Structure 1
Amino acid sequence: MATLGYSQTNFDVTSYGAVGDGITDDSQAFMMAWQEACGATSTGPTLYIPNQKTFFLNPIRFEGPCKSQVRVQIMGQIIGPADASAWNGEDAKMWLTFAGVNGLHAFGNGQLDGRGETWWKSCPIMNGCMRPTALAFLGCSNLTVDGLKSINSAQNHLTIGGCENVVLSNLKLSAPDDSPNTDGIKIGSSTNVQVFDSTIGTGDDCIAIISGSSFINISGIACGPGHGISIGSLGKDVENATVEEIHIKDCILNGTDNGARIKTWQGGVGNARKITFENIQLNSSRNPIIIDQFYCPTDGCKNQVNPIHWNSNLTI
């Protein structure tokens, strides 16, 4: 096992006891490697996940702030628990979480496999069951995520929450078209986010932008299957929801349920404004443009008034 060495630049998880056989729980080794990388004062300390190995991780949270801007290089495969019951009461909202980290750069051609099949069957969200996001970045600033692949997430593949100055690029996110609520990217309460040159095919929204988000720029996305690129849903439980300066262009949507979509709940208040969809190519999409101010994914929604105000410029 490696010893503390704050001048190090490379923190290989196998040096901290990670086995990478796809069976052994490597969570503790990953956490030890992260703590040293996060505490390093060297330039560009790198948490390294080597290729040709499969690392099994239970829910894990990588906390900041760090002393330097940390890089996370994922070259191998990371898999989650195959059975929802294996979480043993752990908070099932997140699987892999980075929180409060400034200047984080996550990259590599490795793969995350959320093994969501069991969750899709045994944990219906409509009945109040909570499934985990595969990869979440919470309260991070100056974040870059490039080149990663995620398959079969239990719920969202990638969540950006409470972040600023974010660049997401060259991602490949996929789940079967009948996998419920497997959004590709969900962005909430975040500002200055760029998403480009990525391929997303899921059982739900390729990208969903929810309340508190502003100055979001999306381009070069190949979306499908899925529910399209959505603003919302907004205003659930009569909340005050706002999104603004959302610009989506140069995207191709193949076989999606929807194209450009804005969805708000009855009774919610707020604004969805300065939204543009430009140069969007739609192939066999059922609803090319859909603006739904009475969003209700289940039966029996309460009939309320005060719809969220919206304005947009749609160029398809």
Structure 2
Amino acid sequence: MDGSGQINGQGSPWWRQAGNSDYINATNTNCNRPTALHFYNCNGLQLSGLNHLNSPRNHISISGCNGVTISNLHISAPQDSPNTDGIDISFSSHVNIHDCVIGTGDDCVALDNGSSIINITGVACGPGHGISVGSLGENGSHETVEEVLVQGCSFNGTENGARIKTWPGGSGYARHITFENITLIDVQNPIIIDQHYCNGEDHCRNDQGSAIKVSDVTYRLVQGSSASKKAIDLDCSKRVACTNIVMDQINITSAVPGAQIFASCNNAYGTSSSTTPNVPCLSKSPYIDSNLVAVNVTN
């Protein structure tokens, strides 16, 4: 599918009725908010050149596909439009996404269960919730994501930057994931691993009997500004700690001149080098679970 045409999902009436729910009730009949484009069980899929606006829910979903190239797309929806992910990937492998501009009310790109060998290059994200691995493990499910490279991407005014999110109580893994050559502009959570993701459901925030195993995650050559004091947040499960987390050549400063920023870790283990803010809480020792470090940043 190649062309310069426009797909307008006319999502506004759906957003108003649904709020944050996937469902609306019209004349007492429950209706799903639709995904505008859903590609299922495709081999050698190529998608380029489209301008895609205002989907009622996800703009593009790729499921059960192999050998996918997505390039030069413009995807946009208002910042407050609910669940309007740009591109969602699941049960798919050998997916290349490059040179896209995505600004929506949710994840610019989301890598869900069964995603493997994914290369995301040159994506400009904002507004939105960043480029996310997950969410994984909802309702105790076994889910996996592996072999992901996100490189040369930028985040402007987003809620998150490089993000991994898993629900308590799930099982499986998210592993062999690299974020490198990343540019941040006024990002609320520049680097975040959230293993207590509950999508607003407070009752599930405590650690449960199992968790997704997060391991072999590298952040390299990440630079830019944080809109919050907590620039790096590695909040891992007490049940299954995050391991082999590598921070290398990170330079994040506050978007507010003179403000302090810090890194926070819980049950995260690995190494850091040439990193601002400093991340000594990322420890090799299994006996040191958390720490906070603040640095004073001046313009």
**Residue 179 (structure 1) aligns with:** 81
Partner of residue 130 from structure 2, selected from 217, 222, 228: 228
Q: CA deviation at 1:300?
A: 3.7
Q: How does 1:198-237 map to 2 (within 5 A)?
A: 198-237=100-139
Asked whether 1:110 is paired with 2:5, we answer yes
- Map Cα deviations across residues 170-210 of structure 1 (whole Å, 9 max, x no partner): 00000000101000000000000000000000000000000
User: SS of 1:126's equivalent?
Assistant: coil
User: SS of 1:107's equivalent?
Assistant: coil
Asked whether 1:299 is paired with 2:194, we answer no
Q: How does 1:16-27 map to 2 (within 5 A)?
A: none
Query: Where is the strand percentage greater, Structure 1 or Structure 2?
Result: 2
**Residue 273 (structure 1) aligns with:** 175
**Residue 242 (structure 1) aligns with:** 144
Q: How does 1:1-316 map to 2 (within 5 A)?
A: 106-126=1-21, 128-129=23-24, 130-302=32-204, 303=206, 304-311=208-215, 312-315=217-220, 316=222
C-alpha contact (below 8 Å) 2:133/2:165 kept by paired residues: yes
C-alpha contact (below 8 Å) 1:125/1:131 kept by paired residues: no
Q: CA deviation at 1:126?
A: 3.2
Higher-Rg structure is 1
Query: Where is the helix percentage greater, Structure 1 or Structure 2?
Result: 1
**Residue 275 (structure 2) aligns with:** none
Identity %: 53
Change in Cα spacing, 1:241 to 1:119, as seen in structure 2 (3 Å) is same
Q: 2: CA distance between counterparts of 1:174 and 1:301?
A: 33
Q: 2: CA distance between counterparts of 1:160 and 1:256?
A: 23
Q: 2: CA distance between counterparts of 1:123 and 1:144?
A: 32
Q: 2: CA distance between counterparts of 1:152 and 1:210?
A: 22
- Map Cα deviations across residues 248-291 of structure 1 (whole Å, 9 max, x no partner): 00001100000000000010000100000001100000100110
What root-mean-square deviation, in Å, do the aligned CA atoms of Structure 1 and Structure 2 show? Answer: 1.1
C-alpha contact (below 8 Å) 2:35/2:58 kept by paired residues: yes
Report the TM-score, using the length of structure 1 for normalisation: 0.65
Q: 2: CA distance between counterparts of 1:124 and 1:252?
A: 28
Q: CA deviation at 1:297?
A: 1.1
C-alpha contact (below 8 Å) 1:259/1:285 kept by paired residues: yes
Q: 2: CA distance between counterparts of 1:299 and 1:237?
A: 12
Change in Cα spacing, 1:127 to 1:176, as seen in structure 2 (3 Å) is closer
Q: 2: CA distance between counterparts of 1:128 and 1:267?
A: 25
Unmatched runs of 5 consecutive residues or more in structure 2: 25-31, 223-299
C-alpha contact (below 8 Å) 1:227/1:257 kept by paired residues: yes
C-alpha contact (below 8 Å) 2:90/2:113 kept by paired residues: yes
User: SS of 1:248's equivalent?
Assistant: strand
- Map Cα deviations across residues 72-122 of structure 1 (whole Å, 9 max, x no partner): xxxxxxxxxxxxxxxxxxxxxxxxxxxxxxxxxx01000000000000011
Change in Cα spacing, 1:160 to 1:253, as seen in structure 2 (3 Å) is same
- Map Cα deviations across residues 113-143 of structure 1 (whole Å, 9 max, x no partner): 0000000011234375431101010011110
Report the TM-score, using the length of structure 2 for normalisation: 0.69
Q: 2: CA distance between counterparts of 1:294 and 1:300?
A: 10
C-alpha contact (below 8 Å) 2:23/2:33 kept by paired residues: no
Aligned residues between the structures: 211
Unmatched runs of 5 consecutive residues or more in structure 1: 1-105
C-alpha contact (below 8 Å) 1:215/1:246 kept by paired residues: yes
Q: 2: CA distance between counterparts of 1:301 and 1:226?
A: 26
Q: Which amino acid aligns with 1:309?
A: K
